[in-house]
Amino acid sequence: MRSAVIITARLSSSRLPRKILADIGGHTVLELLVRRLRLASLPEIMVLTTTTEKEDDELAAAASELGVTVFRGETRDILERWRGAAIANDLDLLVTCDGDDMFCDPVHVDKVIDTHRRTGAEYITCTGLPFGAAPTGIARTGLERVCARKQDTETEGQGRFFAVPGIVTRAEVAAPKMLEHPTCRMTLDYPEDLAFFQTVLSVLGPDPCPSLARIVALLRERPDIVEINRGRQHEYWRRFHARYGPVELKA
């Protein structure tokens, strides 16, 4: 079995343009995320999946300079972009991490891969982690099945395509209680999110890749940091549900 950790990103963003190349303490968000995900020991490869749009040339070049494999594909159809990356790199399992999720947990990347090896599950989620910290495992077999049956070419909000009953076999990885923090927001969509990440890393410095346990412990001690971007969570979900409706798959 060949597995990869997949970073999905593009530079176009209406809420926070070029966010994955934003600077935090002298490093780009992309660099910090790559360094963090390299702490996972089980993936054979790391792949940035971005678009073929000219504006993403800079992002592709930045990833290549970091030693990350780059696959460029569909702009709006992320599932087809992932499928193309799986084919191009002969992957059996994709462990996806959105480029917005700078604190995605490498420990759980390994747990997802281990769960797939033990169970063969085609869609593996992590429960109990803070919002934005959880990777998702998608087997190529399940991805191919969804791509063959989907009717949409706009596939952001990708998890809804795998929620259709009977489409994939599923498993869950439960996080330990020490990592739970139900009110914090660890994803990068708004200026307040960038301020949140900058503050956390400034307080915990100089290590640019603090463990998720250290991050959660800090946020429990410093609820003022959680408040920096907590107000954006309702707006995030309102926008999500307005843009991404129910999914229908062909029989």
32 three-state secondary structure: helix
Strand partners, 65: none
CATH code, residues 3-177: 3.90.550.10
DSSP letter string, the chain: --EEEEEE--S--SSSTTGGG-EETTEEHHHHHHHHHTT-SS-SEEEEEEESSGGGHHHHHHHHHTT-EEEEE-SS-HHHHHHHHHHHTT-SEEEEEETT-TT--HHHHHHHHHHHHHH--SEEEEESSPBT---EEEEHHHHHHHHHHB--S---SGGGGG-STTSS-EEEEEPPGGG--TT-B---SSHHHHHHHHHHHHHHTT-SS--HHHHHHHHHH-HHHHHHHHTHHHHHHHHHHHH-----B--
DSSP label at residue 7: E
Query: Which pLDDT belongs to residue 114?
Result: 98
Query: How confident is the model over 71-100, as pLDDT tens digits?
Result: 999 999 999 999 999 999 999 999 999 999
Query: Which pLDDT belongs to residue 73?
Result: 98
> What tokens were used for 223?
């609820």
Q: pLDDT below 50 — which residues of the chain?
A: none
Q: How far apart, in whole angstroms, are the C-alpha atoms of residue 139 and residue 113?
A: 10
Query: Which pLDDT belongs to residue 138?
Result: 98
pTM score, whole prediction: 0.96
Query: Which pLDDT belongs to residue 169?
Result: 98
Query: Which pLDDT belongs to residue 55?
Result: 96
Query: Which pLDDT belongs to residue 251?
Result: 75
Query: Which pLDDT belongs to residue 175?
Result: 97
Query: Which pLDDT belongs to residue 246?
Result: 87
How is the chain split into domains, by residue range? 3-177
